[in-house]
Every structure is written in structure tokens, then in C-alpha cells.
Chain A
Amino acid sequence: MEDVKQEKQLSIPEYFMLGAKKGFYITVEVIAPAMVMAYVIITFLQLSGLMPLIGQLLGPVMGLFGLPGEASVVLLAAFFAKAAGAATAASLYAAGVLTAEEATILFPACITMGTLVGHFARIVLVCKVRPVYYPIMLATPLIDAAIVMVLTRLVLALYR
């Protein structure tokens, strides 16, 4: 909303170009660093042999959502940044660890629970929510993410 309230009224093509410019900077400033971080973490986990271990350890939990244990790495990355979660899912798909369907289940979950701490400051603290509610606030995106994975799985079953 705020972005629109500019001094000078722009024409439609100018609005498009303004948005496109923003998109360019989002990719360069937010997505590219998150992608590089996510890929480096994944590569480290694969080279160090930790990835199969994580897969085995968290397999039963992730299995509830129709996902392999390795998918937990995606949610862990999303915890730090939404873009890192999405990039991790993309890299695991590229590595053949996740199928396209599994990556799709993780997609809305990454956005829902992503950047948990950063957005806690930007939203919950800015809204001045009473501290007594902080735990339930932090829990909400996590619960939402669990629900959205189940929902997406259902939608996928219908979509097929």
C-alpha cells in the first residue's frame, strides 16, 4: 500500500518497471544469498555423510507428512529464512532426494513458518503483543506449517 503513495503519479508501464526493479533487487539481495547458503549447507551435509543420518533419524516424524526424513533440513533452513527453505527444497529436488510432489508439500510450509525469529521482531513485537502470548505466537506458524503440509498433500491427491 505504502509504496503506491508516491509524490508523483506513475503511469502503468512505470509501475510495472518499478515492480520489476524491486523484483531484481529482491533476487540479488535476498534470494541469491539464501540460495548460496542453503546449497552450501546441503553440500556440506552430503559430503560429510550427515544427510543419510538425518534422513534416518527424522524419517518417522516427516513420514507423517508423506515426506522423507531429509525434508527436515528444508524446514530447518526455512526457520532462518523463507528463501533458504525454498532453496534447500529446490536443491534436494535437484539432487534427487525429494520428488516434485514432496517439494510442493514443503513449499507452503516454508513460507508459512519461514523467517520465524526475524518476523517475530517485525510483526509480533511491532504489534506490541503482550509478552505472555509470545510462546503461542511462536507456535502458531509452526502449527500452521504442519497443517498446510497435510492440506497440500490432500490437494495434491485431488489434483492428480
Chain B
Amino acid sequence: MDQKQTSTTLRGQKVTWKGWASLIFLILCFSGVFAHQDNFLRAFDFTALLGQFGHAEGAKVSIQGTGGSGAREAFILALTMVPTTMMAQGLIEVCQHLGAITAAGKLFQPFFRVLLGVPGTVGLAFVSSFTSSDVAAFMTKNMADEKLITDDHRTIFAAYQYAGSATINNTIGSGAALLPITVLPVGIIIALIVVVKFIGANLVRLYLAARRKKSTAE
């Protein structure tokens, strides 16, 4: 990729073809579009790769069994989630290393001003907020301290980060109990959360604008 195309905000974070390819892979893998394919494409589906637990000879149900309850059932259920979170985190780690998350930031970058009313400076923090709660928060504080963003920008951007923080990791990690139950692909769940994060941040943006208007009117 051309050096010039690397903007100041994602400086040193070049998006290579590997970044784009791994982002496309992540989206396709978690979107469930290949879940019901009967051909090789199924090899790219998260649920298909996750596979199944086997059944004991003659048993109708797998290790989780039926009729469990209370703390014991909770523990067995948590155990059955281990492979899900292990595989998901493994895939995310690889794709993040290949630049998928940076590519996602690149994709959003032209829209920061429009979608959030904050400058493109927040790019890297925005990108990291998909997978971490803390990194973006520290970056935001530093940017505000260095006057790269205004106090209003800080407030709007913090509101964006706060709701559904570390969206990808939390949906797959903290939400693991619901992965086998949800009738929507996990990719759609993540997309819905990102959409409301933007809506919420814009409500704060409106609130700040209204507040400003009121204080200048007085």
C-alpha cells in the first residue's frame, strides 16, 4: 500500500492486503453467510469450524446432558464454552496481528467527523476500542491532555467507548453463553451493538450542542 495513503491518525499502522483480507475473513466467518453452504465455503464459517461435541455410545445428548440446574449446570455450561472462546480469541488474535482491526478503522475513518463529530485523530483509539476497553480510554485522555481533541470530543468519544465496550471480545467472550442460542449470526449482533454505540454517542453530541446553545443564549 502507498505510504501517502497512510494518514496521520493511523500513522505507522499501514493497512496491507493482509489486513483487508483478514478483515473480510473475520466478517464472513462471524456473519454466518456460509453456515448453510454445502460446499467448501462452509470451511470459512465460525460455527462450522467450532464443530460438535460427540455423544457417548447410545446417548442422545452430548456432555452437557439434560435436566441440569443450579451451580453444577452453570459450571458444565461454562466448560462447554471453553472451545468457543479459545477458537474465537485465537482467530481474533491472528486477524488483529494481520491488520484486520486497523483496516476496519481505515474503513470508518472518513466518517468520524460525520458519524461522531470528532476529528480523525481518534482513529487508532477507535480501532482499539473494538477489542479493548482500556487502551482507547487512555489514548482519549492523552489526546485531550495534549489538546488534540476538545473536551466535547472527549465526552462524545467516551460515550461511544463506554456502551458495549470492547465490542468484539465482549460479544464473543462475555456473551459466550448466548452464542449457541442466538438465532442471529454473531456478526449481526456485533453490528447492531456498533450501530447503537454510534446512536448513543450522537445523543450525547446533541445534548452537548443543546447545552452550549442554552449557555450562549443566557
| A contacts, CB < 8 Å to B | 1-4, 10, 12, 15-24, 26-28, 30-32, 34-36, 38-40, 43, 81-83, 86-87, 89-91, 93-94, 100-101, 103-104, 106-108, 110-115, 119-120, 122-124, 126-130, 133, 136-137, 140-141, 143-145, 147-148, 151-152, 155-156, 159
Contact = CB atoms under 8 A, between A and B. Distances in A.
Given A2-B132, A35-B75, A86-B178, A130 B155 contact: yes
A133 B177 contact: no
Most chain B CB neighbours (cut-off 10 Å) among A10, A23, A141: A23
A128 B137 CA distance: 9
For the complex of A and B, 8 pairs with smallest distance between CB atoms? A19-B93, A23-B89, A39-B74, A32-B78, A90-B177, A82-B174, A23-B85, A141-B163
Nearest to A39: B74
Nearest to A152: B192
Contacts, number: 271
Nearest to B176: A31
A22 B72 CA distance: 24
A148 B88 CA distance: 23
B133 A122 contact: yes
A97 to B, nearest CB: 13
B27 interface: no
Interface stretch (B1-9, B44-52, B107-115, B179-187): B179-187
Interface in B102-146: 124, 127-128, 131-138, 140-141, 144-145
Contacts of A111: 164, 167, 170-171, 174-175, 189, 193
B160 to A, nearest CB: 9
